[in-house]
Chain A
Amino acid sequence: KQEVTQIPAALSVPEGENLVLNCSFTDSAIYNLQWFRQDPGKGLTSLLLIQSSQREQTSGRLNASLDKSSGRSTLYIAASQPGDSATYLCAVFLGAGSYQLTFGKGTKLSVIP
């Protein structure tokens, strides 16, 4: 059974700092991994998608890496801003006929002005 763990559960940083969020998964036979952002009480916004054959993806100040063999991914946020405050979730997709995403519990990020 695939399990996804995110560390830390919560993180508070001053504005301008660079930060790293961690995600680990138990079954390396994934098709892709996604990082989502969720604002309080809202739905999910996809930030970055990494295919299993890729090592990293970048979008603006965000960079996500994937080490499939070790079952790890990181989301790097550069020059954090108060608007980055949200919960960040990672999810793995196995493919092979299943559309199920398996999520971690998320990291709640607070960026202090």
Chain B
Amino acid sequence: ETGVTQSPTHLIKTRGQQVTLRCSSQSGHNTVSWYQQALGQGPQFIFQYYREEENGRGNFPPRFSGLQFPNYSSELNVNALELDDSALYLCASCFWNRVNYGYTFGSGTRLTVV
């Protein structure tokens, strides 16, 4: 197992800008999910990607979008940043097949919007 790596670890953006966050998947996991965790809150599900297609989405606007690549790595893109987008963004690679289940989180990217 190689674990899940997220980059960058921290970044600061200005309101209205766009940002791309990156995540490398754990070997053997074909699904990636992204979560937003505001200060003092539990992580909130943004969306998940399976075989390069979005197949689940939480209550987030379309300016939150993503990509999954053939090697199962992923990007989260946020357009037109707002102050409330300041949060810890967590990526998780996962698999589930009724026999085995695995859900591994990265260390997160701390985004500050000013």
Contact = CB atoms under 8 A, between A and B. Distances in A.
Specify whether A and B are partners. Answer: yes
A101 B43 contact: yes
Chain B interface secondary structure, helix, strand, loop or mixed?
strand
Interface in A68-113: 89, 91, 93, 95, 97-106
A4 B108 CA distance: 22
A43 to B, nearest CB: 4
Most buried by A among B43, B48, B110: B43
Contacts of A93: 96, 101, 103
Given A95-B96, A99-B56, A105 B103 contact: no
Nearest to A100: B45
Interface residues on A, range: 20 to 34
Contacts, number: 65
Chain A interface secondary structure, helix, strand, loop or mixed?
strand
Contacts of A89: 42-43
A99 B48 contact: yes
Contacts of A103: 42-44
B42 A100 contact: no
A36 B48 CA distance: 20
B105 A43 contact: yes
B103 A43 contact: no
A42 B108 CA distance: 7
B2 interface: no
Contacts of B88: 41
B103 A101 contact: yes
Contact of A43 (B40, B48, B106): B106
A44 B105 CA distance: 6
A99 B40 contact: no
B73 interface: no
A55 B106 CA distance: 29
Given A41-B108, A103-B42, A103-B43, 8 more contacts: A4-B42, A41-B88, A42-B107, A45-B105, A91-B43, A100-B33, A101-B35, A101-B92
